[in-house]
Structures are given as structure tokens and as C-alpha cells.
Amino acid sequence: MVLSMDRWVGKVAIVTGASSGIGAAIAESLVVGIARRNEMIEEISKKLVVEKGKLYAVKADVSKEDDILKAFDWTIDNIGPVHILVNNAGIHFRETLVDGNTEHWKKNI
């Protein structure tokens, strides 16, 4: 069975961590990218001008509840209701599993 991205046409998606890597690749296929590095999302957005759909760059730190609420409010007010949410944002601590601490694990979740 081959799945088509056409089922997402006309839908609003939020992709966290959309400024690079997997998040950027997903955002290229969907709609709203949220990341702390707004300038990087803007570059992806320019690339998408020639392709189907739009990418809106929204700056937000998903570790801050106020940023999340503002990003969703902006999306709903300017684009419409959110149909898809991709929770891709994450942080990396340079430590091993054995040497790490619980607080760092909580920040990742």
C-alpha cells in the first residue's frame, strides 16, 4: 500500500523543531514550522515558494508554555485550526546514559 501526502492537502500542521534535520524534512511536506531558530525556518520557507503549500515560520521555545500557547494562538488566528501536530523538538546533552541525570531526561520528555 502506497500512502499519498494528498490526504494532508488543506490541513494545518505544526512541526516543532522544524529548523533542521527530520523536523525540516517533515515541515517541507506540511505547513507550520515552530523552532527557536526562526531564520533557518525562513530559508526553508523560501524554498517552498515554488512548491505546493506554505510554510509559516513561527519562533517558539517548546520548553516554555507561554511560547507554545502564543504559537498555537497565532496559527489558529492566521491560518485556521490545527489538524496535525508533530512533536519533533528535542535537546541533546553531551553525557552518557549512566552519567546523565533525571532532570535532563525530564527536559527531553
Q: Which three cell numbers stand for residue 83?
A: 489538524
User: Could you tell me the pTM of the whole model?
Assistant: 0.65
Q: What is the pLDDT of residue 73?
A: 96
Query: E strands of 1-109, at which residues?
Result: 13-16, 32-35, 56-59, 84-86
Per-residue pLDDT of the chain (109 residues; tens, 9 = 90+): 555 556 666 778 888 888 888 888 887 766 555 556 677 767 766 665 545 567 788 889 888 999 999 999 999 999 899 998 988 887 777 887 788 788 877 776 6
Question: Is the distance from CB of 70 to CB of 93 less than 8 angstroms?
Answer: no
Q: Which three cell numbers stand for residue 8?
A: 494532508
- Per-residue burial over 5-19, b if 16 or more Cβ lie within 10 Å, else e, is eeeeeeebbbbbbbb
Q: In the chain, what are the domains?
A: 10-108 (3.40.50.720)
Q: What is the pLDDT of residue 35?
A: 59
